[in-house]
Structure 1
Amino acid sequence: MRNARLRQAGTGFLAGEDGSAALEFITAGSILLVPLVYLVLAMSALQGGAFAVEGAARQAARVYVQAPDEAAARAAAIRAVQVGLDDYGIPGDRAAVTIDCGDGGCLARRSTVTVTVRIRVALPLVPDLLSLRSAASIPIEAVATQTVSRFRRAG
């Protein structure tokens, strides 16, 4: 008798609500999942860009202080930046490279060489319609400083 009453109660006001919790969970989950996935993609692109410019700047400063003369040093530093950025899938020709030398010349003993590398990392899934891709990019900069060895031969 009691089971019959429970069955009758299920045919009343709430009878059409069977299975709606799963549908609501899927809808709310997908509404929250899409921005979360985009956030992960964007942060991955930015982190890759940060690793790329930091490594490129550090390596460029290292090869600069080891070069035999300033012309070779500048060419080696630019090449190091291009290779470092290419390793992360960023075109090296889009980087802005600045090389600053301390007092006394770039390759004088115990002088410092500072290399600054700047790039713009485009956010993922942004179309190149009306130049939105360049507007939707984040600038990233890295600076590395190396000291010329005190045992360097005078050039």
Structure 2
Amino acid sequence: MLRSSRSRWSERLRDDRGSAALEFIVAGILLLVPLAYLVLTLGAVQEQTLGAEAAARHTARVIGQAPDAAAASARGDAVLAAVVSEYGMDADAVDAQIDCRPAAASCPTAGATVIVTVRTSVSLPLLPPVFGLDRLGAIPIEAQAAQKVSRLWGDP
């Protein structure tokens, strides 16, 4: 009697009917959650990268085509603000730097090459701002663009 109950119990343990659905659910969740997080992260990084590249490119172009220094500054600030708004970037986290090659006392100058560098960072999705985790898990992003300024720039 004892032997037959053991054999029935061992047969039940070896029987795997109905466990495929459970295995699929567990394996699916274990694989789907990291995959979804990876997609969210890559999307956020790509959006910020495209925004930084657009900001650098358009700002350099506007500065290079402006008629004088005052117009270049005003137009550059306006374009940078518009691109930051368009791509949903944090305006406080965006840092734009303008350099000229060859180096001059005032930038931009006639015949120089304007180089605009835009730096920002993107926080990893779903990281809470507790204990600075959002800043700790931030990915830095940098983009540069160059634009040649006309030799007749600034002349009336």
Is the TM value for this pair above 0.5?
A: yes
1:100 touches 1:113 (CA, 8 Å); kept in 2?
yes
Distance apart, 1:119 and its partner CA:
0.1
Equivalent residue letter for 1:62: R
Partners in 2 of 1:49 and 1:77 — Cα distance?
A: 19
SS in 1 for 2:125: coil
Question: What is the CA deviation profile of residues 46-103 of structure 1, one whole-angstrom value per residue up to 9, with x for unaligned ones?
Answer: 0001100000000100111122332332232232122112111112232111100123
Task: State the one-letter code of the partner of 1:91.
Answer: D
Once the two structures are aligned, what percentage of the paired residues are identical? 45
Q: Does 1:13 find its partner at 2:24?
A: no
Query: Which whole-Å CA distance do the structure 1 matches of 2:16 and 2:22 have between them?
Result: 11
CA contact (8 A) 1:111 1:147 kept: yes
The match for 2:50 is 51
Alignment match, 2:3: none
- Amino acid in the other structure paired with 1:120: S
SS of match in other structure, 1:113: strand
Taking a change above 3 Å as real, the CA distance of residues 150 and 32 of structure 1, as seen in their structure-2 partners, is: same
Q: How many pairs were matched up? A: 146
Contact 2:111 2:148 in 1 (8 A): yes
Give the whole-Å Cα distance in 1 for the aligned partners of 2:16 and 2:64. 73
The farther-off stretch of 60-69 and 42-51 is 60-69
Letter in 1 for 2:134: R
| 1:115 positional shift | 0.3
Q: Distance in 1 between matches of 2:10 and 2:109?
A: 91
Q: Structure 1: give runs of 5+ residues left out of the alignment.
A: 1-9
Q: Which residue pairs with 1:137 in the alignment? A: 138
Judged with a 3 Å threshold, the aligned counterparts in structure 2 of structure 1 residues 12 and 138 are, in CA distance, closer, same or farther, namely: closer
Q: Which runs of 5+ in 2 are unaligned?
A: 1-7
1:15-39 per-position Cα deviation (integer Å, ceiling 9, x unaligned) = 7522001110110111010000000
TM-score w.r.t. length of structure 1: 0.84
Per the TM alignment, residue 153 of structure 1 is displaced from its structure 2 partner at its CA by: 5.1
What's the offset of the Cα at 1:11? 9.5
Q: In 1, are the aligned partners of 2:101 and 2:112 still within 8 Å (CA)?
A: yes
Which whole-Å CA distance do the structure 1 matches of 2:154 and 2:72 have between them? 15
TM-score by length of 2: 0.83
